């Protein structure tokens, strides 16, 4: 069964990690993938890999914090495919300044996280919703974090992911009457390029592994498979849900 046959799916942050895995899985499941990222070299590699496997992909540069850039992506998608069925708001940031203390954090650092992790998601919804309303169909998933539900170190990261979560929940109520489903996904520790600093430090890695009942990090493909379900018509009655995928971590809280 091809679960996304001929559905048009915009995926942000598709150059690496969970976004890359999602683009590949969606393409294999029949979607016309619009893979976007601000990092064009990695994005092109992902797109070429999808094409070599015989699947369709449109690669577009996108800074999710730039509203004009969002409008360009939507325009090009509509000119190419004529519709937009799915939006996966996956792009996000978490660097060394993610865990700064409040009195060490500049306003610029705070705003940077909100711009990408929260405003970027809002701009994505704003860009695609008019088309989805006309179609009377759409599936939108925001990729948040367990830190958007339960907090943790780094007020900038946690606040931005919490805003991401509540955006999805509120939008789900507003858009349900148009047959547009909005949900959020909350990964725990997923091994990607963003976690390299942890992965390269055995002591630091062990600290996190000991918090996870299954005793291992998650894989990007495991997130992609959940996103596939939420993007497909199999989840047609799931609206405004917040789905944790963390190996049992938050069950211990």
Q: What are the catalytic residues?
A: 157
Angle of helix 17-28 relative to helix 220-231, nearest 10 degrees?
50
Residues near 199 by beta carbon (within 8 Å), at least 6 away in sequence: 191, 205, 217
Angle of helix 67-81 relative to helix 120-135, nearest 10 degrees?
30
Sign of CA dihedral 33, 240, 174, 89: negative
HSE, side-chain direction, 13 A CA sphere, residue 126: 15
User: How many Cβ atoms sit within 10 Å of the Cβ of residue 192?
Assistant: 20
Radius of gyration of the chain (CA): 17
- Decide: residue 177, CB within 10 A, 0-12 exposed, 13-18 middle, 19+ buried: exposed
């Amino acid at each position: 069964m091809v679960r996304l046959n001929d559905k048009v799916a915009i995926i942000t942050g598709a150059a690496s990690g969970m976004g890359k895995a999602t683009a590949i899985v969606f393409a294999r499941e029949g979607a016309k993938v619009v893979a976007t990222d601000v990092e064009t070299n990695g994005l092109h590699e992902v797109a070429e890999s999808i094409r070599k496997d015989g699947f369709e992909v449109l690669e577009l540069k996108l800074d999710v914090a730039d509203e004009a850039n969002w409008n360009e992506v939507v325009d090009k998608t509509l000119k190419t495919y004529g519709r937009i069925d799915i939006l996966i708001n996956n792009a996000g940031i978490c660097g060394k300044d993610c865990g700064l203390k409040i009195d060490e954090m500049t306003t610029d650092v705070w705003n940077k996280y909100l711009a990408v992790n929260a405003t970027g998601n809002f701009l994505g919804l704003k860009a695609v919703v008019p088309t989805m309303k006309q179609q009377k169909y759409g599936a939108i998933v925001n990729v948040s974090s367990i830190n958007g539900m339960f907090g943790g170190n780094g007020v900038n990261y946690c606040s931005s992911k919490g805003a991401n979560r509540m955006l999805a929940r509120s939008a789900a109520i507003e858009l349900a009457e148009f047959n547009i489903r909005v949900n959020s996904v909350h990964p725990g520790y997923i091994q990607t390029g963003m976690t390299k600093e942890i992965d390269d430090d055995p002591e630091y890695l062990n600290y996190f592994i000991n918090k996870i009942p299954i005793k291992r990090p998650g894989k990007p493909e495991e997130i992609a498979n959940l996103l596939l379900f939420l993007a497909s018509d199999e989840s047609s009655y799931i609206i405004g849900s917040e789905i944790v995928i963390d190996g049992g971590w938050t069950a211990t809280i």
